[in-house]
């Protein structure tokens, strides 16, 4: 058995791992097929970033951990390369995936409706929705002329607490003489995340492939982040400026809405909170929010409790959703001319494009603006540059235009949707049968190194490796 990586080895983006169960007669499974972003696209033209540059004829199935674009964005190219095998995902991910792929195609590839529909039809044909915690047998390529180390392979998804539908993957490999359990973490959620419960460790893993986004960090103040959020916003709107929050349309946007509903509910006599416009400028995010409401059976107890009390944790009067591009431009002009406070949530989460770019171009040069980062900003993204150069009065390039930063920059760490070092250690510590082999992926170098040291201290006998391309 061997595991090769087609992404998420030099950074956090482009997740795509291949589990090969028989090196003599290739028979493989692909775990995620994501897009590269930020620094990881440097030196490659856009076509090269997207090409599937490995043979796919021996791949028996694609397994999707969750539908963030850096885990699923290369699926259209996989299909275009002729991939015609089942695509396994949790029920919620299967419901979200076509929306994500449709948007990715529209934004990055083509406006041709027929082409988009053809791709979606193919995707819908191949996708196999699976409930959490159910074992299913995967197709296996058994050549009669070869000795097969494994005769059967089964898959199970367990909740990862990262975004709606997110899962870590357990793969059970059974041969005539031995068994082997491989676990792919996907992206793991942190403790005390809004809306979703944090992940529980698997019972066993022989080999573990694990993300390390915050492998060198300890999350601070997760419990009082909503106080922090409230404080920053109350200060920010005093000068009638806008507050821009770059956020992924899936996950982060819904967490923020959940928090704002909470703050508004708690501050019923505060006119600012009762009147402020909270604008979600993204038809995509609005669609995903609907799906989050639809799949409320996957929410954590606190969120379900609010439902029971008659509250609507993802909805409130002050919420405005912007759909058309025309309205999007109109809102920017309106806010610009009126000097009226408002909170705007828009993608992309790392400011690498999308409607957030238009807000940044217009409002970064204004001293009354506040930018609030609530998520990880990968190296080489505009978001990371704003975080780094903004506080010194620097500038960034957006759409090849130099934009001076006069806005105030804030970061709240408590909303990170990824496990920190403590959570990642616990994920392994709480397994009954601990891995003999750990492969660390999906992180910057320092994060991977720090996590490797933590695991080595925890499991001195285990082989701890850092994934390489
Ligand atoms: Zn993710
Ligand atoms: Zn990821």
Say how many Å lie between the CA of residue 420 and the centre of ligand 1: 14
CA of 81 to the centre of ligand 2 (A): 23
**Ligand in nearest proximity to the CA of 160:** 1
DSSP H or E segment with residue 88: strand 87-90
Report the separation in Å between the CA atom of 25 and the middle of ligand 1, taken as the mean of its atom positions: 32
- Render the burial of 96-121: b for 16+ CB within 10 Å, e for the rest: bbbbbbbbbbeeebeeeeeebeebbe
Ligand 2: centre distance to CA 68 (Å): 7
Task: Give distance in angstroms: CA of 263 to centre of ligand 2.
Answer: 29
d(CA 232, CA 400): 31
Letter string b/e over residues 366-380, b meaning 16 or more CB atoms within 10 A of that residue's CB: bebbbbbbbbbbbbb
Token pair of 20 as six digits: 């090969």
**Ligand 2 midpoint to CA 236 (Å):** 31
Distance 454 CA to ligand 2 centre (A): 21
Instruction: Grade residue 404 by pLDDT with cuts at 50, 70 and 90.
Output: very high
Å from CA of 169 to ligand 1 middle: 14
What is the Å distance from ligand 1's center to 64 Cα?
Answer: 11
What's the CA-to-centroid distance between 125 and ligand 1, angstroms?
Answer: 24
Report how far ligand 1's centroid is from the alpha carbon of 199 (Å).
14
pLDDT digits (tens, 9 = 90+) for 220-255: 777 789 999 999 999 999 999 999 999 988 899 999
**Which ligand is located closest to the Cα atom of residue 163?**
1
- Residues 9, 371, 269, CA angle at the centre, nearest 5°? 125
pLDDT value for 48: 64
310: CA distance to ligand 2 center in Å?
Answer: 34
Q: Comparing 423 with 149, which gets the higher pLDDT?
A: 423
Compute, in angstroms, the gap from residue 313 CA to the centroid of ligand 1: 22
Q: Which domains, and CATH codes, for the chain?
A: 2-217+417-466 (3.60.15.10), 225-415 (3.40.50.10890)
**Residue 447: closest CA among 415, 413, 424:** 424
- The predicted structure's pLDDT at residue 42: 64
Ligand 2 midpoint to CA 15 (Å): 7
CA of 193 to the centre of ligand 2 (A): 16
Is 72 within 8 Å of 105 (Cβ atoms)?
no
Give the ligand with the smallest distance to the CA of 416.
1
In this structure, which ligand is nearest to the CA of 15? 2
Q: Which residue has the tokens 């500038």?
A: 395
> What does the pLDDT look like over 61-90, one tens digit per residue?
999 999 998 999 999 999 999 999 999 999
Q: Which residues surround ligand 1, an ion (CB under 5 A)?
A: 68, 187
Tracing tokens 């998520």 back to the chain, one arrives at 375
Run of H or E including 3: strand 2-5
Q: Cα of 281 to ligand 1 centre, how many Å?
A: 21
Question: Quick one: tokens of 311?
Answer: 């509250």
Rounded distance from Cα 67 to ligand 1 centre (Å): 7
Which ligand ends up closest to the CA of 375? Answer: 1
Ligand 2 centroid to 71 CA: how many Å?
6
Q: How far apart are CA 368 and CA 241, in angstroms?
A: 5
- The lowest-confidence range among 11-25, 57-71, 91-105, 287-301 is 11-25
Contacting residues for 258 by C-beta, under 8 A, at least 6 apart: 194, 195, 303, 313, 314
What's the gap in Å between 184 CA and the centre of ligand 2? 12
Ligand nearest to the CA of 68: 1
- Residue 146 scores a pLDDT above 80: no
What's the gap in Å between 172 CA and the centre of ligand 2? Answer: 23
Cis-peptide, bond into residue 263, ω within 30° of zero = no
Ligand with an atom nearest the CA of residue 378: 2
Q: pLDDT tens, 251-290?
A: 999 999 999 999 999 999 999 999 999 999 998 999 999 9
- If one counts every other C-beta atom within 10 angstroms of the C-beta of residue 287, the result is 18
pLDDT tens profile 330-387: 999 999 998 889 999 999 899 988 899 999 999 999 999 999 999 889 888 999 999 9
User: Which tokens go with 65?
Assistant: 């951990």
Q: Which phi and psi (to 5°) does residue 274 adopt?
A: -80, -15
* CA 32 – CA 44 distance, rounded (Å): 21
Q: Give me Rg for the CA atoms of the chain.
A: 22
């Amino acid at each position: 058995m061997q595991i090769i990586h087609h992404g998420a080895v030099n950074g956090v983006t482009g997740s795509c791992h291949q589990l090969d169960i028989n090196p003599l007669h290739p028979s493989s499974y692909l775990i995620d097929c994501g897009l590269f972003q930020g620094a990881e696209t440097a030196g490659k033209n856009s076509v090269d970033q997207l090409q599937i540059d490995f043979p796919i004829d021996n791949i028996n199935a694609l397994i999707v951990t969750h539908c963030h674009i850096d885990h699923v964005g290369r699926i259209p190219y996989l299909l275009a390369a002729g991939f015609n095998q089942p695509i396994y995902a949790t029920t919620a991910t299967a419901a979200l995936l076509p929306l994500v792929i449709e948007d990715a195609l529209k934004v990055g590839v083509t406006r041709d409706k027929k082409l988009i529909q053809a791709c979606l039809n193919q995707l819908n044909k191949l996708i196999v929705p699976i409930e959490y915690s159910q074992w299913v047998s995967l197709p296996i390529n058994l050549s009669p002329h070869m000795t097969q180390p494994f005769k059967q392979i089964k898959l199970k998804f367990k909740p990862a607490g990262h975004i709606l539908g997110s899962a870590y993957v357990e793969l059970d490999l059974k041969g005539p003489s031995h068994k082997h359990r491989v676990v792919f973490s996907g992206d793991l959620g942190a403790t005390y995340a809004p809306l979703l419960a944090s992940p529980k460790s698997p019972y066993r893993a022989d080999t573990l492939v694990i993300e390390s986004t915050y492998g060198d960090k300890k999350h601070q103040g997760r419990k009082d982040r909503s106080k922090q959020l409230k404080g920053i916003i109350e200060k920010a709107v005093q000068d009638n400026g806008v507050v821009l929050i770059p956020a992924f349309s899936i996950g982060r946007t819904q967490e923020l809405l959940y928090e704002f509903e909470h703050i508004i509910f708690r501050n019923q006599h505060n006119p600012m909170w009762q009147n402020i416009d909270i604008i979600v400028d993204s038809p995509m995010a609005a669609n995903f929010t609907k799906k989050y409401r639809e799949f409320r059976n996957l929410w954590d107890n606190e969120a379900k409790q609010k439902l029971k009390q008659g509250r609507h944790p993802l909805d409130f009067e002050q919420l405005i959703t912007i759909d058309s591009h025309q309205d999007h431009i109109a809102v920017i002009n309106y806010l610009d001319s009126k000097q009226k406070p408002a909170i705007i949530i828009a993608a992309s989460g790392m400011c690498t494009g999308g409607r957030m770019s238009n807000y940044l171009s217009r409002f970064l040069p204004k001293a009354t603006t506040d930018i609030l980062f609530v998520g990880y900003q990968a190296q080489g993204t505009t978001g990371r540059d704003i975080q780094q150069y903004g506080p010194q009065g620097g500038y960034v390039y957006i759409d090849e235009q130099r934009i001076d930063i006069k806005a105030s920059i804030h970061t709240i760490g408590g909303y990170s949707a990824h496990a920190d070092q403590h959570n990642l250690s616990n994920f392994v510590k709480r397994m009954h049968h601990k891995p003999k082999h750990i492969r660390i992926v999906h992180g910057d170098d320092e994060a991977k190194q720090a996590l490797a040291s933590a695991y080595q201290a925890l499991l001195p006998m285990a082989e701890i490796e850092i994934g390489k391309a």
